[in-house]
Structure 1
């Protein structure tokens, strides 16, 4: 008789338990994902250009970025950077030889120059780019709404 009571109480115990709930509260997950999205939206434009340059305004249409592009930047002091690496004075032609613009699959060259620079400095860099065989150069500007 004791056996029977023990077995029946065990069955009742199993059936009396609550079934595990298979629901996940996704509200905190959504909150975290939205915060991360906002952080990435704010920091992504800052990561695109490593050299601080105040670009001139233009109403030109935006061009698509290509993964194999080389960015030449000239900062306010006139120092030249290839991508984010500074180029020593007088070494720009050597740096452009490494880019090798004369090959058929040459990368796109984008030129970012500070708007306070002398026009002659920008033209000297463009002349060296042309001399190195880089004949297709995109000039990067800041978007503007009003006409000059």
Structure 2
């Protein structure tokens, strides 16, 4: 420890003693190093086996795709125009009120076309729409 010698002007010491701070930080690092391996251990459980189930087709989102040329497909079936798309979407909405649409738009397609298709989906009454992208 460093002590300041007594002098005639007893002003406050302006230096910060960092030794206690370093001590506390080293204790925290040691605690972290000890507890981190304990957190990664897992309990091995043998899970029960069940019969396979099929996915609920009713709850599957509609797959709406726009290719580079601007052609629209719904669930891999070609759609003639946006009016026909709106009719099909309205029929799907009558069948399932919670229907969702996944939009697959080619990166080369003009944004205007994507905006028009989105407006058609919204005009049909479907509020759940998601854009599907590919991870690079």
TM-score (norm 1): 0.48
Structure 2 gap segments, 5+ residues each:
1-57
Cα deviation 1:89-126 (Å, max 9, x = unaligned): 2422112112117954x222100011001101000000
CA RMSD of aligned residues (A): 2.1
**Residue in 1 that maps onto 2:114:** 122
Superposition pairs for residues 16-95 of structure 1, below 5 Å?
68-89=60-81, 90-95=83-88
The residue matched to 1:122 in structure 2 has which SS?
A: helix
> Partners of 2:59 and 2:96 in 1: how far apart?
17
Cα deviation 1:21-76 (Å, max 9, x = unaligned): xxxxxxxxxxxxxxxxxxxxxxxxxxxxxxxxxxxxxxxxxxxxx95211000111
> Partners of 1:101 and 1:116 in 2: how far apart?
33
> Partners of 1:117 and 1:78 in 2: how far apart?
6
The residue matched to 2:108 in structure 1 has which SS?
A: coil
**Residue in 2 that maps onto 1:97:** 90
Structure 1 gap segments, 5+ residues each:
1-65
Q: Provide runs of 4+ in structure 1 moved above 3 Å.
A: 101-104
8 Å CA contact 1:72, 1:112 repeated in 2: yes
> Partners of 1:112 and 1:74 in 2: how far apart?
6
The residue matched to 2:125 in structure 1 has which SS?
A: coil
1:131/1:91 Cα in 2 relative to 1: closer, same or farther (>3 Å)? same
8 Å CA contact 2:66, 2:73 repeated in 1: yes
